Amino acid sequence: MSNPNVSEARVKIGVIGLGRMGLSHLSILRPHPGVEIVGISDTSRYLLDVMRRYTGLPAYRDHRELLERGRPDAVVVATPTGSHAAICEPILESGVGVFLEKPLALTVESGERIVELAARHAVTTQVGYHFRFVPSFEEARRWCRAGHIGRIHHFHVAAHGPAVVRPRGTTWRARKSEGGGCLYDYASHAADLASFVFGQPDNVGGSIVRSVFSKDVDDEVYANFSYAGGLTGQLSANWSDATQRKMSVRVEIWGTDGKITADRQEAHVFLRNDPPAESGLRAGWNVRHVPDLIAPVRYYVRGEEYTLQLDRFVESVGLGRVDDDYSFASAHATDVVLDRIRRDADAQAGMGADTR
Amino acid sequence: MSLQPPIDNVLFGDNQFFGINHMSQDKAREQAVRFQDTEAIIDVLDSALDEGIRTFMCTTHERIGEVCDHMRERPERYADYVFFPCMPYAHKYNDAVAELGMMGALRRFAPQGTARALIAGGKTAAGRSIDSVVRLLVDAEMKMFRGLSAPVVFLQNVVVDFLLGLGFDDAFRVFAEHVRDEYDAAPGFITMNLPPLVDTLERLGIEQPIICSNINKVGFRMCGGVDVYERALSEGRCRAIAMSVMASGAIPPAEAIEYVASLPNIEAIVFGASSAGHIRETKRIADSYFAARDTRE
């Protein structure tokens, strides 16, 4: 069934780290007609045996062997955050593209290093901030940029869900040293969405990063952002909210001429005045639901955004695209915000503001 | 070798009961509040049954267990009632994987010691172990339906599309065989990717598979595109059940159902509703379009 001409043109991809996200990415990439999966790797021997036997994919315990034997054009790295920089450095140096799970790195310094390496070697990079591909958030961003709601003066971005609703947990997500915690997980999505729409804040203040149930990591994060132009914003992330079925992200944006709200299902904009006719909007409430905003993707596993982000990456590798809204550099900007929230929260706690 | 149970034209779904709404999170919450007592769910199922909708296509959510208990206790009222269980209730497993890791989750859900023994068996046991794991998970999910009629057992789309994407085809075969041998039921598959799934199931020898998929006039979540779906349906290689017929409310009911009933080889639609009026109206429209179609044929 393989057409040699087609397979010649296919992008060769390896997947490193077969946890929840790695397997999810693999399931979306493998059916891509322009992709050939040249190997997978993980440290679990059992998982590799099962995958080798049932999927027929070459499976390696050491990702370096995957790189050597599979000769991928690009890899997906979905390992715990603490290992990102060490795994990525030699890969970037060899000119192989990288799609990395978020957040970029455990420290700002190690993140800087891989951003710099990617730039030096002109490598295609992307980070798995999939909310950038959710059509309702993209629509909200377009409305903001078109100026439909006037001068934007405040926003609120929230990520709430039920990841940790009791005091246990045995995976790396429960360990600070490996990048666990709500700050690097839920809050990173909220901070990244804020960066996507408004850019990086100039100041971060009033931050709270604390535990509700977890022993070693934080479960809730709150912070205030301010921007040079006068815009302010608030971030709220709480992964111990049992009322949600899964992580739910929501943004509210206030402008002098209207207001925008968006979540994964819908985007609403209220306009005080009639906008230009070509906007397709009217004074009063305008509602866009996901079925209005999205065309079918080529393959769906768990949400269009997961497919769209990987398709974008495959396309970028093919085109040799190196720097855009989705690259390591953009994710590093979010890492910097997270780091500032953490430092600010530590400083606040040092001043006795911690309520525990 | 394949079982082909009859399927009614109109089936009742359960998203509305569990705070799932593809249109609006606010609406989803309203519904979650309304249906937090199982009695409220049963009331709606009774309204549907009064309209002649006697098949409930439902997730193996623990609260469905309470619905099952209610029906088991009243065999005279629910003599003809049919469940189409859809498994697994994925969030239960997803949360466990996030909390305990892949292997930890396996240990939690498999009976004590089994998972450990399977994993310890290593490479040679890898094949056998996956078969056992699939069977164990199906058995765990099927417990609540004991003594009730469940002639079709579905695998949920998130699992189907994940396995299909990975190329983990054998799991479908194990699932199909186990459901048939152990429960005397036909395997069903929910998917967002109908065309490639039909190819794969055929290759595995699962002929005329029962497949439930988004099928609607606007192409919402019909992956690969409406044309590809229409072609796959016209080839008559599966028994199709259409879901998201109204694309979460984007298409008015009459227009939505007219389109679906005009397609070849659609056996049924599944829809969810919360009010007796809405159920009655949808059933009436569906009956009229399906009757018109059957007359044409």
A110 lies in the same domain as A41: yes
Amino acid B80: pLDDT: 95
The answer to whether residue B93 scores a pLDDT higher than 80 is no
Amino acid B117: pLDDT: 56
**Distance, CA of B227 to CA of B224 (rounded, Å):** 8
Q: Which of residues 29-88 of B touch A (CB under 8 A)?
A: none
Amino acid A354: pLDDT: 46
Among B124, B164, B217, B223, which would you mutate to test the A interface (most chain A Cβ atoms within 10 Å of its Cβ)? B223
Residue A261 lies in a domain: yes
A145 lies in the same domain as A244: yes
A246 lies in the same domain as A291: yes
In terms of residue numbers, what domain contains A169? Answer: 132-297+337-349
CA distances from A350 to A217, A345, A347 (A): 18, 8, 5
Question: What residue of B is the nearest CA neighbor of A136?
Answer: B23
Amino acid A157: pLDDT: 98
A159 lies in the same domain as A87: no
Tokens at A242, concatenated:
């049992």
Q: Is B262 near chain A, with CB under 8 Å? A: no
Amino acid B99: pLDDT: 67
Residue A212 lies in a domain: yes
Q: How many domains does chain A have?
A: 2
CA A290 to chain centre: 20
Nearest to B224 among A265, A298, A304 (CB): A298
Which contiguous run of DSSP H or E holds residue A10? none
Question: What residue of A is the nearest CA neighbor of B97?
Answer: A20
The answer to whether residue A355 scores a pLDDT higher than 50 is no
Residue A65 DSSP SS3: helix
Amino acid B26: pLDDT: 78
Amino acid B102: pLDDT: 66
Amino acid A168: pLDDT: 72
Q: By the 8 A CB rule, do B16 and B43 touch?
A: no
Residues from chain B that touch A169, judged by Cβ atoms under 8 A, are 99-100
Amino acid A72: pLDDT: 98
pLDDT digit string (tens) for B248-270?
888 999 999 999 999 999 999 99
Least confident of A101-110, A176-185, A250-259, B212-221: A176-185
CA atoms in the 13 A half-sphere facing the CB of B59: 20
Mean pLDDT of B135-143: 91
Q: Is B26 near chain A, with CB under 8 Å? A: no
pLDDT digit string (tens) for B158-179?
999 999 999 999 999 999 999 9
Which contiguous run of DSSP H or E holds residue B271? strand B266-271
CATH code assigned at A252? 3.30.360.10
A200 lies in the same domain as A241: yes
Among A244, A287, A301, which would you mutate to test the B interface (most chain B Cβ atoms within 10 Å of its Cβ)? A301
The answer to whether residue A86 scores a pLDDT higher than 50 is yes
A231 lies in the same domain as A318: no
DSSP state of B247: G
A104 lies in the same domain as A219: no
Q: Which of residues 167-186 of B touch A (CB under 8 A)?
A: 167-171
Mean pLDDT of A41-58: 94
Mean pLDDT of B193-212: 96
Q: Is B163 near chain A, with CB under 8 Å? A: yes
Q: Phi and psi at residue B296, in whole multiples of 5°?
A: -60, -40
The answer to whether residue A151 scores a pLDDT higher than 50 is yes
**Domain-wise residue ranges, chain B:** 10-88+139-296
CA distances from B216 to A296, B250, B269 (A): 12, 10, 10
Residue A268 lies in a domain: yes
Residue B270 DSSP SS3: strand
Residue A305 lies in a domain: no
Tokens at A77, concatenated:
């790295």
The answer to whether residue B79 scores a pLDDT higher than 50 is yes
Residues from chain B that touch A45, judged by Cβ atoms under 8 A, are 122-123
Mean pLDDT of B134-141: 90
Residues from chain A that touch B224, judged by Cβ atoms under 8 A, are 296, 298-299
Q: Phi and psi at residue B30, in whole multiples of 5°?
A: -55, -45
Task: Check A246 against B91: CB less than 8 A apart.
Answer: yes
Residue A86 lies in a domain: yes
DSSP β-bridge partners for residue B100: none
Average model confidence (pLDDT) for chain A?
93
**Distance, CA of A28 to CA of A303 (rounded, Å):** 11
A12 lies in the same domain as A92: yes
Residue A303 lies in a domain: no
CATH of B10-88+139-296, one of 3.20.20.100, 3.40.50.170, 3.40.50.800, 3.20.170.30: 3.20.20.100
Residue A332 lies in a domain: no
Nearest to A50 among B20, B126, B220 (CB): B126
A145 lies in the same domain as A126: no
Amino acid B92: pLDDT: 72
Q: How confident is the model at residue A336 (pLDDT cuts 50, 70, 90)?
A: very high
pLDDT digit string (tens) for B23-40?
677 777 888 888 889 999
Residue A247 lies in a domain: yes
DSSP β-bridge partners for residue B210: B188, B239
A87 lies in the same domain as A195: no
The answer to whether residue B72 scores a pLDDT higher than 90 is yes
DSSP β-bridge partners for residue A269: A260, A286
Q: By the 8 A CB rule, do A214 and A167 touch?
A: yes
How close A243 gets to chain B, by Cα (Å)? 9
The answer to whether residue B123 scores a pLDDT higher than 70 is no
A235 lies in the same domain as A170: yes
Helices (H), B23-156: 25-34, 38-50, 62-72, 90-109, 114-120, 122-142
Residue B223 DSSP SS3: coil
Q: By the 8 A CB rule, do B136 and B111 touch?
A: yes
Residues from chain B that touch A26, judged by Cβ atoms under 8 A, are 165-166
Amino acid B125: pLDDT: 57
Paired sense of beta strands B186-191 and B152-155, if any: parallel
Residues from chain A that touch B21, judged by Cβ atoms under 8 A, are 265
Task: Check A171 against B123: CB less than 8 A apart.
Answer: no
Task: Check A23 against B162: CB less than 8 A apart.
Answer: yes
Least confident of A120-129, B41-50, B248-257, B274-283: B248-257
Q: Is B204 near chain A, with CB under 8 Å? A: no
A112 lies in the same domain as A200: no
Q: How confident is the model at residue B19 (pLDDT cuts 50, 70, 90)?
A: confident
**Distance, CA of B163 to CA of B174 (rounded, Å):** 12
Residues from chain B that touch A53, judged by Cβ atoms under 8 A, are 126-127
Question: What residue of B is the nearest CA neighbor of A301?
Answer: B161
Tell me what percent of the residues of chain B surpass a pLDDT of 70.
87
**Distance, CA of B27 to CA of B276 (rounded, Å):** 18
**What residues have CB less than 8 Å from B112, skipping those under 6 apart?**
none
**Distance, CA of B269 to CA of B287 (rounded, Å):** 11
Nearest to A301 among B98, B162, B169 (CB): B162
Amino acid A95: pLDDT: 96
Residues from chain B that touch A178, judged by Cβ atoms under 8 A, are none
Q: What is the pTM of this model?
A: 0.92
Tell me what percent of the residues of chain A surpass a pLDDT of 70.
96
CATH code assigned at A55? 3.40.50.720
Tokens at B242, concatenated:
């259409």
CA distances from A335 to A112, A329, A348, B174 (A): 10, 10, 20, 44
Amino acid A7: pLDDT: 45
